[in-house]
Amino acid sequence: MSDSLEAVRDAVVEMRDEEISSLVLACLDEGYSPVEVIEKAVAPGLEIVGHKFENGDFFLADLILAGEVVTQATGMLKERMSPGEGAEKGKVILATVRGDVHDIGKRVVGMLLAASGYEVIDLGIDVPAEKIVETARTTGAAMIGLSALLTTMVGSIREVVERMTEAGLRERVKIAIGGACCSQSLADEMGVDAYGESAVAAVRIFDGFTGVVNTD
Ligand code: B12
């Protein structure tokens, strides 16, 4: 990892909100793309924060502060991402599942999907299954991305799948999941179409759903 990426990662862990902007700019000046800064510096920083929280070295207040530093960084990076070409790849509904308020990762996924040509309908956090189904019905969106970070709330993923099936929409709508508590085996268990470990993976998955050939 380069010094500039390392500095951003450390600023997230040390919650240095007054420095994060200049450190992010230094990475961009060095030629890293906004997505690279997120995937290689911001996300690893939050990973460390998560472990410190787990070990009892950090408290909830630290999680909140780190979240704010990251919101500042991703806001800046979003402004520097090139917008998609008229959202020609189709509509994607994004939501953090009911009971879960984590939204940093979902917003990163949304930014990258929008920059890749998708029309993103972001329903926010703690979204009830009913609202997701209703949005799929009214917008005609054929893709849903669910973000879930809390192990205790994975049942909310199943709820979305069940409600979509009851509404007769499951056949025409593909569902992908992602977030800290997700995995391929959870995706299989919940009956969704795909699991993605990152925002880059999210684009690959949705491109696969729409039949876009990925040449990367
Ligand atoms: C920041 C943070 C918070 C912030 C969130 C701020 C915000 N605006 O989002 C706050 C302080 C609010 C918070 C609260 C809580 N948190 Co918290 N939090 C985190 C932390 C440190 C980072 C999460 C994050 O933003 N990561 C960075 C982003 C970029 O990564 P990401 O979300 O994984 O997203 C990437 C990929 O997963 C993927 N992705 C994400 N979504 C999707 C969707 C699709 C479709 C696809 C394909 C891909 C994809 O792409 C993203 C970009 O690459 C994690 C630790 C961790 N390792 O995740 C704990 C963590 C998730 N939190 C945890 C806990 C326990 C809580 C609380 C219950 C604490 C408490 N006692 O109150 C509350 C829960 C409140 C609630 N009801 O939701 C635990 C969960 C444990 C578990 N297994 O259930 C974790 C894992 C910490 C830990 N190690 O203990 N938290």
Give CA–CA dist 164/131, Å, rounded. 11
Give the predicted TM-score (pTM) of the model: 0.87
If we measure between CA atoms, which residue out of 193, 207, 208, 213 comes closest to residue 84? 207
| Tens digit of each residue's pLDDT (9 = 90 or more) over 125-180 | 999 999 999 999 999 999 999 999 999 999 999 999 999 999 999 999 999 999 99
Give me the DSSP letters along 28-96. HHTT--HHHHIIIIIHHHHHHHHHHHHHTSS-HHHHHHHHHHHHHHHHHHHHTSPPPSTTTT-EEEEEE
Contact 46, 12 (CB under 8 A): yes
Residue 213 has pLDDT above 60, yes or no: no
**What is the number of other CB atoms lying within 10 angstroms of the CB of residue 38?**
29
If we measure between CA atoms, which residue out of 24, 147, 50 comes closest to residue 92? 147
Q: Which atom of ligand 1 is nearest to the CA of 94?
A: 45
Phi, psi of 65 (to 5 degrees): -60, -45
- Tell me which of 186 and 112 has the higher pLDDT: 186
**What is the number of other CB atoms lying within 10 angstroms of the CB of residue 86?**
8
If we measure between CA atoms, which residue out of 19, 163, 179 comes closest to residue 107? 179
pLDDT value, residue 85: 53
- How is residue 35 written in tokens? 């997505």
Domains of the chain: 3-79 (1.10.1240.10), 91-210 (3.40.50.280)
Q: Which of 149, 153, 175, 203 maximizes ligand 1 atoms within 8 Å of its Cβ, making it the mutation to test the pocket? A: 149
Give CA–CA dist 147/142, Å, rounded. 17
Q: Which residues contact 142 (CB under 8 A, 6 or more apart)?
A: 90, 91, 172, 173, 174, 209
Contact 104, 71 (CB under 8 A): yes
Q: Which of 63, 157, 160 maximizes ligand 1 atoms within 8 Å of its Cβ, making it the mutation to test the pocket? A: 63
**What is the number of other CB atoms lying within 10 angstroms of the CB of residue 7?**
19
| Tens digit of each residue's pLDDT (9 = 90 or more) over 64-104 | 899 899 989 988 888 888 766 555 889 999 999 999 999 98
| Tens digit of each residue's pLDDT (9 = 90 or more) over 1-57 | 899 999 999 999 999 999 999 999 999 999 999 888 988 999 889 889 988 998 999
Residue 216 has pLDDT above 80, yes or no: no
Residue 58 has pLDDT above 90, yes or no: yes
Phi, psi of 202 (to 5 degrees): -60, -45
- Give the binding-site residues of ligand 1, using a 6 Å CB cut-off: 39, 43, 46-47, 49-50, 53-54, 60, 63-64, 66-67, 99-106, 108-109, 145-147, 149-152, 176-181, 196, 198-199, 201-202, 205
In whole angstroms, what separates CA 182 from the centre of its chain? Answer: 12
